[in-house]
Structure 1
Amino acid sequence: MEQTSSYQNWQRRIGLLLSSQTVSMFGSMVSGFAVVWYITLRTGSGLWVTYATLANTIPSVIISLWAGVWADRYNRKYLAMLADFGIALVTLLMAILFAMGIRDLWLLLLLLAARSAGNGIQSPSVNALIADIVPEGHLSRINGIYNTLSSFSQLMAPAMGGVILANFDLRFAFGLDVVTAIIGISMMSLIKLQQRKDTRVQASVLTEMLAGLHYIKMKPMILGLMVAYFIFFILLAPASVLSPVFVERAYGNNVMFLTWSEVAWSLGTVIGGVLVALKKVIKDKIGAIAFVMIICGIVFGLIGFAPTIWWYCVIMALGGLAFPLLPTADTTLIQENVENNYMGRVFSVFGIFVGATTPIGTLFFGPLADAINIKWIFLGTGILNIIVGVIFLTAMSKYRHQELQKYQQ
């Protein structure tokens, strides 16, 4: 397996890695938005949209535990490339079937599920690979740049997906996804890494999986972070799942209102991501995470009371401005505090804790939105997230102090 034991030319290697992931991610996002909107426009069914949401999340959660073991056992670069290739292959097959006139909706669910599984394999591999390539003192800035590139893709992808769906066929979106995957894989193949030494005794996948869970249990700071995130993101689910429904009910059935709200959030995350990337080191990562939890609680608690769509967009943009600090801080915290041979498994379990919250939140808060006014759901979950942020900061005070001491030595 590969890893850099030396950080010589690390800037070129991380540049290739981030560029390859951004190109591939953009194509996948465009295709993903186009598929979900195609299903929505063709069926007009909330049930089918729920199916699409579950297909887009559950496979990633299921495969993540195995993916973490693979990322610690095998070549991380090739594992990420293989996942990308698999997604591209399924997408190409889907384009061929559509060209033959076979357009059953269940095929699109299979595509979303395959992409979700591929992302579940790719994500822990890439996050661990970043820690392999980048010196510890530069991890915050690099993670900030990566999150900014992701936010920019999220800003542009819906617009591109809408243009493709309005003016071309869904096959065009599939073709774009395949082309960007090929470009991304080609760029990633140029990354040269040194052999990563692995002194572990090879065991079964199940044994290594259990060893990863035991390792997390013995790391109270990492375990506490995961538990806090599980609660936080379940409470954040109404903001992502119910926002379109709230906009339609509160401000009118206008597609542009939905577009503006998405753009406002994405624009805020892009600007916030740039600001985070400009800061070379985030010293108080635990404090930064708690800060974003509290800000999100305030923002999404108030958003239901925005008198106009313009105020709604302003509040969304402010929330987006603060949010990039969260993934940058948590990813760096894990990369700096987890041994390399456990990195993949820790990131995979972390992905499970976060990924499982979307279907759980959807199943719980979706029906609740038909029983009570959504603004009260926003307010209640917002207040609870403020409490979660305060409790997290208090409970992690010892580890926060230890982290800050690293920069005083």
Structure 2
Amino acid sequence: MSLSTIISPVVGGLILANFNLYWALMIDVFMAAIELLCMIKITLNPVQVSHNNESIKQNEQALLAGLKYLFSNLKLRRLFTINAFSYLLMTPASVLSLLLIQRQFGANVTNLTLQEIMWGGGSIISGLLVAKKKEFKDNERVLGMAVGGFSIAMITMGFMPTMWLYLLTMFLAGWSFSYIMTTQAVIIQTTAAPEFMGRTFSAYQMIGSLMLLIGTLGMGPLADVVPLVWIFAVSGLILLTAAGWYLRAIKR
């Protein structure tokens, strides 16, 4: 995933520098066609789905049981809380960073491409380190520190006087993100009961997507009336506070 993130903007930058947006979008269409051709050979066994009232009632009970389990498990409840804060408050870095570059340093192809390269480069290097480490003694502590590192990068992003210093903060954010994603997945895998594993991961993805959507809908329009520097700084400061809460909570 990180490798794709770092290669895509380089290729995209070359395409936009030598062609136009039409051909850039046509490449997307061409690649989608290849993906569909790859899926033609995949066969799935038919699944019999019952739509009677009894099966609907059982599904509703299973969903409620899964939610009840999540809220009753202290470790998972803490994880889902920091996950919600993270996805909500990371919105500026993940959605508004291109706008920040445009306003601070100019929206040329080089600047936009370098940002993606630095983010992807940080993610790749930290991902390799995580793979080499294989496991952490305390995944919750590593998660809290990684969220804290990401928040510090966000706080400083808008105040960087030069493009290269800004890219350094983007590298730190990408570096932290791999640790965040890995430790969250491991905590779920080592905490959730096997019969609730699927529902736990589903809820985890649902909360992340919902928070990112809420953050985009809220902070996107806000960026037209409030300086982006302060949106990044305040979001990062709140996220840093959340990381501090999480680190204190896991010690209890």
TM-score band, normalised by shorter chain? 0.7 to 0.9
CA distance in structure 1 between the aligned counterparts of 2:145 and 2:137, rounded to whole angstroms: 14
> Once structures 1 and 2 are overlaid, which stretch shifts more, 230-239 or 157-166?
157-166
Partner AA of 1:343 in structure 2: M
User: Could you tell me which residue of structure 1 aligns to residue 163 of structure 2?
Assistant: 309
Q: Quick check: 2:75–2:191 contact (8 Å CA) kept in 1?
A: no
Q: Does residue 153 of the first structure (1) align with residue 4 of the second (2)? A: yes
Query: TM-score, normalised to structure 2's length?
Result: 0.85
- 1:184-210 per-position Cα deviation (integer Å, ceiling 9, x unaligned): 786x88xxxxxxxxxxxx763222111
1:294 is the counterpart of 2:148: yes
Matched, 1:380 2:234: yes
Deviation at 1:258, TM superposition (A): 1.3
Shift of 1:232: 2.2
Q: Separation in 2 of the partners of 1:286 and 1:375?
A: 30
- 1:218 equivalent among 72, 84, 87: 72
Identical counterparts, % of pairs: 32
- Distance in 2 (CA, whole Å) between partners of 1:221 and 1:396 is 8
Cα distance in 2, alignment partners of residues 224 and 216 from structure 1: 10
Is 1:394 aligned with 2:245?
Answer: no
Please provide the CA RMSD for this pair.
2.4
User: Residues of 2 paired with 1:273 and 1:174: CA distance?
Assistant: 30
The amino acid of 2:3's aligned partner reads F
Alignment check: 8 A CA contact 1:164 1:172 kept: no
- Quote how far apart the aligned CAs of 1:359 are: 1.5
CA distances 1:308-356 after superposition (whole Å, capped 9, x unpaired): 1111111211221222111111101101111222111100101111111
1:282-305 per-position Cα deviation (integer Å, ceiling 9, x unaligned): 121000110011111111101111
Mapped contact 2:12–2:24 kept (Cα < 8 A): no
Match of 1:177, as an amino acid?
A
Residue 113 of structure 2: aligned partner? 259
Give the corresponding residue for 1:69.
none
Matched, 1:175 2:30: yes
Instruction: Measure how far apart 1:161 and its partner are.
Output: 5.0
Of the three residues 173, 181, 195, the one matched with 1:327 is 181
AA paired with 2:34?
V
Matches within 5 A, 1:330-345: 330-345=184-199
Q: Find the counterpart in structure 2 of residue 243 from structure 1.
A: 97
Q: Residues 153-179 of structure 1, C-alpha deviation per residue, up to 9 Å, x if partnerless?
A: 222233445666747474542332342
Alignment of 1:49-128 (within 5 A): none
Q: Distance in 2 between matches of 1:162 and 1:344?
A: 39
Q: Residue 91 of structure 1 aligns with which residue?
A: none
Residue 244 of structure 1: how far off its partner (Å)? 1.0
> How many residues were matched structurally?
237
Look up the SS of the partner of 2:158 in the other structure: helix
Deviations along 1:66-98, one digit per CA (max 9) or x if unpaired, are xxxxxxxxxxxxxxxxxxxxxxxxxxxxxxxxx
Give TM-score scaled by structure 1 length.
Answer: 0.54
**Gaps in structure 2 of 5+ consecutive residues:** 44-54
Q: Structure 1, unaligned stretches of length 5 or more?
A: 1-149, 190-201, 399-409
CA shift at 1:182, angstroms?
4.8
